[in-house]
Amino acid sequence: MFGTFQDSAIRIEVAVAAADIQRSLVRPECFRQWLWPQTFSEGVPEVLEQGVSFTSHLGTMTLYHQVNQISDHRCRLLVAGAVDGFHEWQWGDGWVQSRLEGVSLLPLNLAHTAQLWRLQQFLQQLPANSDAGSL
């Protein structure tokens, strides 16, 4: 992989429950909405599980994802392609934190910031006291 090693860690506050954040991060039906115009391969299960692999595209860039670890408050994805590294999410009631490390030619901090801003906007549009349902 060509590029430079980059890392970015961002934590934001959001006025939603941890279950709503979890749903937005581990259910493709949700993350497809806030990560638009990024597109994802078909066949991703209804809820991400450890070992699941999928592909995403943003313009001509391709990213390969593999769920490395997942729990009630954490999800870690290994990534390859346009970025070689990992993307880790942690969350709780009222906050979400994301850490991205990898080698890339792309400006990862800019893309990472935009991604968290989009997630924050998506979460703020959820109805108050929404029922995220069981995962």
The pTM (predicted TM-score) of the whole model is 0.89
CATH number at residue 58: 3.30.530.20
Q: Does residue 130 lie within any of the structural domains?
A: no
Owning domain of residue 8: 4-124
Q: Does residue 134 lie within any of the structural domains?
A: no
Q: Does residue 37 lie within any of the structural domains?
A: yes
Nearest to 99 by CA among 123, 65, 75, 121: 75
Q: Does residue 132 lie within any of the structural domains?
A: no
pLDDT profile of the chain (135 residues), mean per 10: 92 96 96 93 92 94 96 97 97 97 94 95 82 49
Q: Does residue 78 lie within any of the structural domains?
A: yes
Q: Does residue 89 lie within any of the structural domains?
A: yes
Specify the number of domains making up the chain. 1
Q: Are β-strands 53-58 and 95-104 bridged in parallel, bridged antiparallel, or unpaired?
A: unpaired
Q: Does residue 24 lie within any of the structural domains?
A: yes
pLDDT of residue 134: 45
State the greatest distance between any 2 C-alpha atoms of the chain, in Å, as a whole number: 45
Q: Does residue 16 lie within any of the structural domains?
A: yes
